[in-house]
């Protein structure tokens, strides 16, 4: 069965049809792998499909007409084409956790960063502890690389998992250090807002870091926080709290 690749499943199919000089109705499609765009060039995968030319249909046997009946037989339930049924993921959380780990191993291999990965579920969060002698390369400046990989891992889990669990990646104790730094930033920014009397707009952050900002300043009597923008450029705004008269 010939195999073809493309940026998307449709492009892989089109490449196969062109090479085989067939139209879409003449072939059966088996999806081997879905294409992934990746983020920052990380985690990119081509779509892979197998194409097989359908056999020539045999002539239908002649059937004698049955006597008319006033009772209509029930209509058969429509069936999905085989290729579509095969493409639909079977949602299972434990399988999804394993698939995400395999995906992370593929990414770190592509980046040429030797990494060992362990997973642990804590409530509604699945943590992947990543150990490597090249921490700085895997984390990136201001966490840009590890956050991009985490976004891809979350997308992978959402595709195959059944539950709405959060995926978190940690390299050494980076997340703990980063959380402490974000909370210090929240306190420092709040003091500036109080002193100046004007709002401060923080740099874009992932949702869990924005949440840390909101939590840190939730009980502050003099400032309030809210988020603006769209992910991945969503950011926190800290404003002076309006007095209640």
- Domain ranges, ordered by start, for the chain: 1-54, 93-172, 176-240
Q: Of the candidates 36, 32, 27, which has an alpha carbon nearest to the alpha carbon of residue 81?
A: 27
Q: What mean pLDDT, rounded, does the chain reach?
A: 85
How far apart CA 149 and CA 221 sit, in angstroms, is 37
Q: Of the candidates 108, 181, 106, 96, which has an alpha carbon nearest to the alpha carbon of residue 139?
A: 108
| Secondary structure class of 154 (helix, strand, coil) | helix
Question: One fold for both 93-172 and 176-240?
Answer: no
* Helices 207-217 and 174-196, packing angle to 10 deg: 50
Eight-state DSSP code of residue 218: T
Report DSSP letters for 163-209, one per residue: S-PEEEEEETTHHHHHHHHHHHHHHHHHHHHHHH-S-EEPPP--HHH
- Chain-centroid distance, C-alpha 72: 47
- CATH superfamily ID and name for 176-240: R3H-like domain (3.30.1370.50)
Structure confidence at residue 24 (pLDDT) = 76
What proportions of the chain, in percent to the nearest 5, are helix, strand and coil?
A: 40, 25, 35
- 216 against 51, higher pLDDT: 216
Average pLDDT of span 90-106? 91
Q: For the domain 93-172, what is the CATH code? A: 3.30.300.20
Q: Of the candidates 103, 121, 105, which has an alpha carbon nearest to the alpha carbon of residue 113?
A: 105
What tens digit of pLDDT does each residue of 71-93 get? 555 555 545 444 444 445 567 89
Q: Are 128 and 104 in contact (CB under 8 A)?
A: yes
| Secondary structure class of 52 (helix, strand, coil) | strand
Residue 132, C-beta contacts closer than 8 angstroms, at least 6 positions apart: 108, 113, 114, 115, 116, 138, 171
In this predicted structure, the answer to whether residue 181 has a pLDDT above a threshold of 60 is: yes
Q: In this prediction, what percent of the chain has a pLDDT beyond 70?
A: 80
Structure confidence at residue 239 (pLDDT) = 97
Average pLDDT of span 105-115? 94
């Amino acid at each position: 069965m010939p195999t073809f690749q493309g940026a998307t499943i449709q492009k892989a199919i089109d490449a196969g049809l062109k090479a085989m000089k067939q139209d879409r109705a003449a072939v059966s499609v088996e999806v081997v792998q879905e294409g992934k765009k990746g983020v920052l060039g990380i985690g990119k995968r081509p779509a892979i499909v197998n194409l097989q030319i359908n056999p020539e249909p045999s002539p239908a046997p002649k059937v004698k007409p049955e006597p008319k009946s006033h009772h209509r037989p029930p209509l058969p339930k429509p069936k999905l084409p085989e290729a579509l049924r095969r493409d639909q993921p079977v949602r299972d959380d434990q399988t999804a956790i394993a698939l995400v780990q395999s995906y992370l191993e593929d990414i770190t291999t592509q980046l040429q960063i030797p990494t060992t990965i362990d997973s642990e579920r804590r409530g509604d969060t699945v943590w992947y502890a990543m150990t490597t002698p090249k921490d700085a390369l895997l984390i990136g400046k201001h966490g840009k690389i590890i956050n991009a990989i985490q976004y891809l891992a979350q997308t992978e889990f959402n595709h195959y998992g059944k539950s709405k669990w959060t995926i978190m990646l940690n390299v050494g104790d980076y997340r703990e250090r980063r959380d402490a730094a974000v909370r210090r930033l929240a306190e420092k920014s709040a003091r500036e807002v109080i002193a100046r009397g004007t709002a401060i707009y923080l740099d874009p952050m992932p949702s869990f870091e924005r949440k840390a900002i909101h939590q840190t300043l939730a009980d502050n009597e003099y400032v309030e926080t809210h988020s603006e923008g769209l992910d991945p450029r969503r950011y926190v705004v800290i404003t002076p709290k309006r007095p209640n008269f």
